[in-house]
């Protein structure tokens, strides 16, 4: 199996562990292609010549699996890079909450050993495709497409239709169209529900709406969501996973739908989404004095 290595080079922990990672691959005699961004970073770690350094866009083509070391943003950037190639990505957490990068970097050796033996599973995650009127190239997102007021302090108005039927005219700071994967990201912060990643739905979540009756709405994954945004500012912003960003004039129409390809995330065999929620959100932990509850006696 050929591995590729992509990392957030701003993470101090990555540079501390990089010699161990390189030594592990050398000892295992396993091919490793290194993103040139790592080689170009101003750090003192020597990269062995046995590991080719290649441009980042080529990694998805040359590798059977990509190691993305950093936080969830690193995974999102990697998925954006891979696109329709659907190369499996293994997220390794170098700090932060990490819903997508659930393997701690400190434990990479044990997990990689099992994965190299074929002891893993692939989770196919729904992707979004976003077509913007007047923009030739569509945007793709694993987490969400956000429509945002941008630098303006004034709210924007977003008319939303689902399969041609008017849902609402949101007066808000913005709007999120999220996948189940993105339900634990920006959507969660905006009051959206947590959705099990295998669920075949999309989430429409207003950001700070000017009506308490405007709540998140869940629609089927095959729905076509159309928006028309009005702003009093020079432009508003549409972005995919915080990576691909467009500044757009008022009355620009946007259509969001399920993409015709998936993101393939590599998971250890013992991985569980519910276990992940317990670990990341501290569910099941009561920090109050439990001795006062009668059922503990």
What is the rounded end-to-end Cα distance, in angstroms, of the chain? 54
> For residues 238 and 6, what is the distance between their CA atoms, to the nearest angstrom?
26
Residue 131, token pair as written in the block = 């077509």
> For residues 199 and 42, what is the distance between their CA atoms, to the nearest angstrom?
43
Name the packing angle between helices 108-116 and 12-28 (round to 10°).
40
Name the catalytic one among 35, 72, 148, 173. Answer: 72
Is residue 5 within 8 Å of 67, Cβ to Cβ?
Answer: yes
Active site residue 64: no
DSSP state of 46: P
Region of residue 73 (phi > 0: left; psi between -120 and 50: alpha; otherwise: beta) = alpha
* Helix/strand/coil for 192: coil
Residue 259, token pair as written in the block = 């993409």
Q: How wide is the angle at C-alpha 64 spanned by C-alphas 62 and 70, nearest 5°?
A: 95
> For residues 135 and 133, what is the distance between their CA atoms, to the nearest angstrom?
6
Residue 24 burial (CB < 10 Å; 0-12/13-18/19+)?
middle
Strand partners, 7: 69
Query: Which residues carry out catalysis?
Result: 72
């Amino acid at each position: 199996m050929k591995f590729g290595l992509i990392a957030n080079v701003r993470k101090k922990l990555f540079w501390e562990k990089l010699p161990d990672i390189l030594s592990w691959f050398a000892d295992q005699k396993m091919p490793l292609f290194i993103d040139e961004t790592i080689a170009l970073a101003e750090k003192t770690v020597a990269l062995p010549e046995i590991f080719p350094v290649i441009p980042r866009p080529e990694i998805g083509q040359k590798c059977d699996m990509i190691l993305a070391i950093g936080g969830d943003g690193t995974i999102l950037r990697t998925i954006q890079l891979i696109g329709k190639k659907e190369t499996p990505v293994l997220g390794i957490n170098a700090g932060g909450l990490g819903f997508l990068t659930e393997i701690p970097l400190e434990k990479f050796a044990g997990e990689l050993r099992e994965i190299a033996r074929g002891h893993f599973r692939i989770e196919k995650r729904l992707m979004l495709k976003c077509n913007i009127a007047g923009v030739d190239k569509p945007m793709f997102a694993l987490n969400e497409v956000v429509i945002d007021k941008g630098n303006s302090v004034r709210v924007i108005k977003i008319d939303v239709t689902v399969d041609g039927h008017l849902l609402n005219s949101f007066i808000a700071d913005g709007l999120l169209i999220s996948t189940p994967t993105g339900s634990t990201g920006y959507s969660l912060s905006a009051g959206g529900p947590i959705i099990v990643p295998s669920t075949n739905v999309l989430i429409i979540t207003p950001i700070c709406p000017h009506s308490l009756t405007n709540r998140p709405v869940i629609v089927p994954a095959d729905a076509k969501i159309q928006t028309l945004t009005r702003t009093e500012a020079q432009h508003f912003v549409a972005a995919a996973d915080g990576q691909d960003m467009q500044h757009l004039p008022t009355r620009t129409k946007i259509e969001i739908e399920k993409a015709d390809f998936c993101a393939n995330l590599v998971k250890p065999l013992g991985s569980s989404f519910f276990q992940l929620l317990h670990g990341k959100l501290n569910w099941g932990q009561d920090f109050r004095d439990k001795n006062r509850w009668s059922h503990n006696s």
